[in-house]
Amino acid sequence: MLVSFTAVLNYFMVDYIGHRAVALILMLTVSLTAILFDIFPVLIAALLSALIWNFFFIPPVFTFHIETPEDVLMFLMYFVIALINAVLTFKIREFEQNSREEEEKGKSIQLYKTLLSSLSHELKTPISTIIGAIDTIKENELKLTDLNKNALYTEIEVAGLRLNRQVENLLNLNRLEAKILQPKLDWIDVNELIFDVLRQNKENSTNHFVVFDTNEQLPLFKTDGIFIEHILQNIIHNAIQHTPDDSTININVTAENSGFTATISDNGDGFPIDKIDLVFNKFYRVNNSQTGGTGLGLSIAKGFTEALGGNIKLENIDTGGAYFRIYIPSESSYINSLKNE
């Protein structure tokens, strides 16, 4: 098409520029085609342009006959150059694509390496603790004081719980990514649910003040209670782990027109401002952050939130500390006055 169009355009100008210049213009068109299209259209364009040039421009026009030996040479040269042009451009593009693929492969290998190193670290630390503590107990049965023994038992217990948490996180992440987890909507009392999460966190939060003021005006919401639990659990756990002892963590819930918003804020150090966009990424950990996390908690919270059609936002508070805001769209129901005979 492009070739024919250019040819028609040139037909009117041939008197001014001569038929040999037309060859160059047609060549330019073929080159352009090579940049834009695949190899076959380019080959066709090369062939077509050669024929058009011959038929319409090389004297005698309107025949495929060529008079002068110069023009024969020109025609053959034209045809070969157009072909080389097409093939070269195609090769360059192929090369570019290969290097792009190579680069992407490299990136995913990098991600995989990060994943593996993070995983092996997070899983092997508690495993080493358990095996090491048990060896110590077995081999020093008589030498260990009761106090030391108890300390080792506690280490084993903590390591076991940590392992369990890591595995649960990995499973959840996997299920979220595979989209196997479909929310099961049911009426839930969000106040009740938050107290339940806090009760489950009681043992880890002895050095923090976790404050939740119930919102007694809150209606029931139709959502997946287990999802909400995972979201809050992960954010609260994150806050407890990454704020200094004696920090306060505040939880609040408010009803919206079309759902509810839960906010979790703390008075810790907040997040590095340039890292805020990264914290929801898988395996992302803020530099120097204490171990004990997988770098999965917040991405899981985000995954569950989005699976419910909601969104999660993080910002720093001016006075210090982090502020998580989770919005969950949901049907609500005020039936507190329901027939209570």
Partner 1 sequence: MNKVEILIIDDEPQIRKLLQINLESNDYKVIQAMTGKEGLMFAASHSPDLILLDIGLPDKSGHEILKDLREWFNKPIIILSVQDSESDIVSALDNGATDYLTKPFRIGELLARIRSAIRRSHNTENESIIVCGNIEIDLVARIVKRDNEIIKLTATEYNLLSLFLKNEGKVLTHHYILREVWGYGYQTETQYLRVFIGTIRKKIEANHNNPQHIITESGVGYRFQ
Residue 333 lies near partner 1 (rule: CB under 8 A): yes
- Give yes or no for residue 338 binding partner 1 (CB under 8 A): yes
Nearer to partner 1, 154 or 333 (CB): 333
Nearer to partner 1, 52 or 130 (CB): 130
Partner residues linked to 329 by β-bridges: 259
**Residue span 177-196 as binding mask against partner 1, x where in contact by CB under 8 A, dash where not:** ---------xxxx-xxx-xx
Cα–Cα distance between 160 and 171 in angstroms, integer? 17
Residue 95 in 3-state DSSP? helix
CB 3 within 8 A of CB 52: yes
Dihedral of CA 119/122/127/128: which sign? positive
CB of 175 to partner 1, least distance (A): 9
Q: Is 102 helix (H, G, I), strand (E, B) or coil?
A: helix
Q: Does 205 bind partner 1 (CB under 8 A)?
A: no
The whole-angstrom separation of Cα 52 and Cα 7 is: 7
Query: Please, which residue, 188 or 249, has the CB nearer to partner 1?
Result: 188
Pick from 138, 143, 179, 199 the residue near partner 1 by CB under 8 A. Answer: 199
The binder of partner 1 chosen from 160, 183, 292, 329 (CB under 8 A): 160
Return the residue of 214, 252, 263, 289 that touches partner 1, per CB under 8 A: 214
Which residue from 260, 269, 263 is spatially nearest to 330, judged by alpha carbons?
Answer: 260
CA nearest 57: which of 123, 9, 111? Answer: 9
Q: Which of residues 90-129 bind partner 1 (CB under 8 A)?
A: none
Spatial contact of 163 and 196, defined as CB atoms under 8 Å apart:
no
What are the residues binding partner 1 (CB under 8 A)?
160, 164, 168, 171-172, 186-189, 191-193, 195-196, 199, 214, 220, 225-226, 229, 333, 335-336, 338, 340-341
